[in-house]
Amino acid sequence: MTDPLPEQRISECGKAMAIAAVPVYTVNGAVHPPTLIAACARMAGYYLLRSFGVVTTSMKPGEAVLSPQASEKTPVLLRTCVGVLATLGNSIPSDPPQPLIDEKTIPCEDFLQTQARLLPVFAPLRAKFSLDEYQAARAAAVATAIAAHAVRTNIDVTRSIGVAAFGFTEGSRTVPTPAGDDKNAV
């Protein structure tokens, strides 16, 4: 038996990440859809930022990181998310209504809270599927799409894409906390 191709591992890991994120964000039998979507998207951004190797121990968690690589590569996460949503049968408007985010779609936690909750869940999955950080970023973008698809009756997919876009950007431009539970942590 041969090892699965990287694209297959990314897809399978993304599915596993989405499934693993749901119980983390379930309270009293319910999930806050924007928080779940933002969390998966932020982790995609987190792994993307880490793949650039620009975060140093002298940077303070929560600070902004201006990285040309993030500006260049973050759209890959959004395209991945939109592509998976389309594959799942969602209609994606070419010119979405504005604003994409409003008071009903604001996540209930910040980036550092998301990292603390999801990194211990996502890091073992990343290791299980033998993904590097860039591949893990793409897997988390797949997880974002699957999460958005799963909650589409509670939040319109177009709004979910807006939440995801902000999450990808925030995650790829925010200094994470050092984390010893990720095999390549700062």
Which domain does 59 fall in, by range? 6-172
Domain count along the chain: 1
Q: Please report the pLDDT score of residue 91 as a whole number.
A: 87
Residue-wise pLDDT tens digits, 53-73: 999 889 999 999 988 999 999
Q: How far apart are CA 92 and CA 111, in angstroms?
A: 27
Give the CA diameter of the chain.
50
**46 within a domain of the structure (yes/no):** yes
| Residue 184 within any structural domain of the chain | no
CA distances for 85 relative to 39, 42, 116, 117, angstroms: 17, 18, 27, 25
Contact 182, 119 (CB under 8 A): yes
Residue 177 lies in a domain: no
**Percent of the chain residues topping a pLDDT of 90:** 78
Kindly state whether residue 95 falls inside one of the protein's structural domains.
yes
Does residue 52 lie in a domain region? yes
- pLDDT tens per residue across span 70-105: 999 999 999 999 999 999 999 887 776 666 667 788
Q: What is the pLDDT, as a whole number, of residue 105?
A: 83
Tokens describing residue 123? 């890091």
Residue 183 is assigned to a structural domain of this protein: no
Q: Where are the alpha helices (DSSP H) in the chain?
A: 6-24, 33-52, 68-87, 111-128, 133-150, 157-172
Residue in this structure with the two tokens 């090892």, named with its chain if needed:
3
Q: Is the pLDDT of residue 151 over 50?
A: yes
Model pLDDT for residues 5-56, shown as the tens digit of each residue: 999 999 999 999 999 999 999 989 999 999 999 999 999 999 999 999 999 8
Q: What is the pTM of this model?
A: 0.92
